[in-house]
Structure formats: structure tokens, C-alpha cells
Amino acid sequence: MKKVLIVFGTRPEAIKMAPLVKEFQKFQKDFETKVCITAQHREMLDQVLDFFNIKADYDLDLMKPGQNLNELTSRILIDTRAVFESFRPDYIFVHGDTTTAMTSALSAFYSGCKVCHIEAGLRTWNKSSPFPEEVNRQIIGRIADFHFAPTQKSRDNLLTENVKDEDIVVTGNTVIDALFQSVERAKDFKSTELDNLKKNIKNGKDIILVTGHRRENHGDGFLNICKALIEIAKRKPNVQIIYLVHPNPNVLQPVKDLLGDIDNILLINPLSYPSFIWLMNQSKIILTDSGGVQEEAPSLGKPVLVMRNNTERPEAVAAGTVRLVGTDQYRIETEIFRLLNNEEDYQKMSELHNPYGDGKACERIVNAIRNTF
């Protein structure tokens, strides 16, 4: 029996790793599967674990107010060592490009276990965008033994970096697995949070859902985004803008100062995963800088405008389901108004194919470990 350790620490990682945990648990004769969380994000992570009914075997509880990347990296590197020495996994699975993923992969390498990288091969080739994620995932790409790429483009990126073809499996993205497993449950999901959200939605108005947190957008970037939202709210009173405001003070303060008193802009805290799925389903347009939302929303038929100048997910841009608008006020306004005013353009963008998978990525990953690696 092989020992598998699945490590994550943030809400997006938890969403994308939850279906993988469940898939491995189907094969208890083949694998002893355990979950380690760093709790790089504490509250938002716990919400996802509760929704998917996953209990952590190891909880490092590393979340601290005001923690910088140096502190977080050093603590993960030190604290994961004890986990690896205790469990002695054959395989460790990390996801994407977080500090948790990068540092856990390095710690696993030091401990001598095989590193499996989920969502491998995404690249912008720009160390500063996104920061620190681009460097994190490139480091994992050098450490990993097995690379589970979501798309053919991601596989090609890895081959360019001289990763062996036999060590790469194209699987689709596990976020689509999570979405398909969750969307029906979210329809019947009941919570005080969701009840309060429904009370604040203005019937008959088109919803523009906004999320934003990227470090490279702090400062002038968020000021420009806010200016664009003010203009959209003013010119389109039949629209309700719902902004899920990240708790980082660099985001929270300018957003509250500029948008807090506008009638058709609703500022709310980040939502639990099922509430967020429900709200995405109700929205007409999504404006975001989130990687996961770029992948999820096209499966729900929602056009996505991405507040970044480049993306490590070019497949959706090529497919036409996603458009890059950066943090330029004019570009954001122009694209939002185009989708609101031109039904043909809206339908064309919302009906296109999602290039990120069919909801069977986790099945392919587990089969590869069972039969190939």
C-alpha cells in the first residue's frame, strides 16, 4: 500500500484538492491517504473543508496577522518536516503556485518523497506577474517528479523546460471536478450567509460580480478599478455590482472609501464556496483577477473579464470565454458596456467551450498513480 499526503493551505487550493482527496479515498486498499493543511488562509480554508466534509490529519495552523512571505515560507519549511518524518509518504501532492505548495514541495524533496504537482505547467514567463506565484510554480516545476497539467498548452510549457514527456499527464483542471460536484449541492445549500446575500440582491437587476486580490494590483490598480465601477454604476442604474472585498487592508481600504456609499454597489466579505457558486450562477458578468474564477465561470456560461495584463491561463482567452482588461479604467468600462449593450456579443462569449476539462481530472490523476507512476 502506497502512502499519499495531500498538502494545501489556501481556499483556492482546498477547492481544487478536495475532489482529489475524495477520489483517493475510493481506493483504500491501494492508498493510505492523509491531508495536511498549513492554514495559510484559516477561516476561508475551514469553510471549504466543512462543505466537502474533509478532516485534516495534520493542521499546522500557520496563519498569523501581518505575516510576510519570509516568515510564512520558513515556518512551512520547518513544520512540514515533522509531518514527513511521522507519516513517511511515498507521494506528496501540492497544487498550483502558492507559498504552501512551493515550500511543501521543497520540504518533501529534502525528505526524499516523490512530489506530484497538480495544475502543473502554467506560465506567464514574467517573474513579477503574478507575484510571487510565477516563481513559486517554476520552482515546483523543477522539484516535481510527476506533473499533472490541466491543458495541452501547460504540457507544452513543461516540455519547453525539458521536463520528460513520460512524467507529464494532461488531466484537465480539478476545479471543474469541484464545480460539477458542488453546483447541484449549492442550489439546495442553506445558511445564514446565503439568506443574507439573497436579501441584499435587488430583483430584476443584472449582477456584475467582482473579486480582486492580486498583489500586483495594489495601489493605483485598485483605484482605477474602483473608478471604473463608479462610472458603470452611475451609467447603468439597472445593474447591481456585488464586490467580494478581500480582507487585505491594501484592498479593503480604498474599496470602502471609494465605493461604500453608492446605492447599486454592494460590498460584502468573501463568501463560502457554496454561496460563491450560487452567486456566480446568478451573475451576468464576472470581473476578476482570480485564476480559479477564470476556469470555473465559463462552465456556468458566464463571460469573464480579467483585471490583469497577462494570464497563465491563455486557453480561455484563445477560446473567447475570457478577456484581459488589466486595471485600465477605460478598458474595464468599455468591455462591461459592450457586454451589457450588445446581446449578440454577450451570447457569443457565454456559449463558448470551456477548455479546462470535463470534470474527470481527479480520476485521471489517481489512475496515473495506480497504473503508471
Q: Nearest to residue 16, comparing CAs of 103, 105, 118?
A: 118
Tell me which residues are annotated as active site. 97, 119, 133, 213, 215, 246
Backbone angles phi, psi at 203, to 5 degrees: -60, 140
Cell 476561508 appears where?
44
User: Rounded CA gap, 83 and 59, in Å?
Assistant: 10
Would you state the cell numbers that stand for residue 271, as one nine-digit string?
Answer: 463568501
Strand arrangement of the beta sheet that strand 239-245 belongs to: 265-268, 239-245, 206-212, 285-288, 304-306, 322-324
**Phi and psi angles of residue 92, each rounded to the nearest 5 degrees, phi first:** -115, 135
At residue 2, what are phi and psi to the nearest 5 degrees? -90, 145
- The answer to whether 289 and 212 have CB atoms below 8 angstroms apart is yes
Judge whether 147 and 165 are in contact, CB under 8 Å.
no
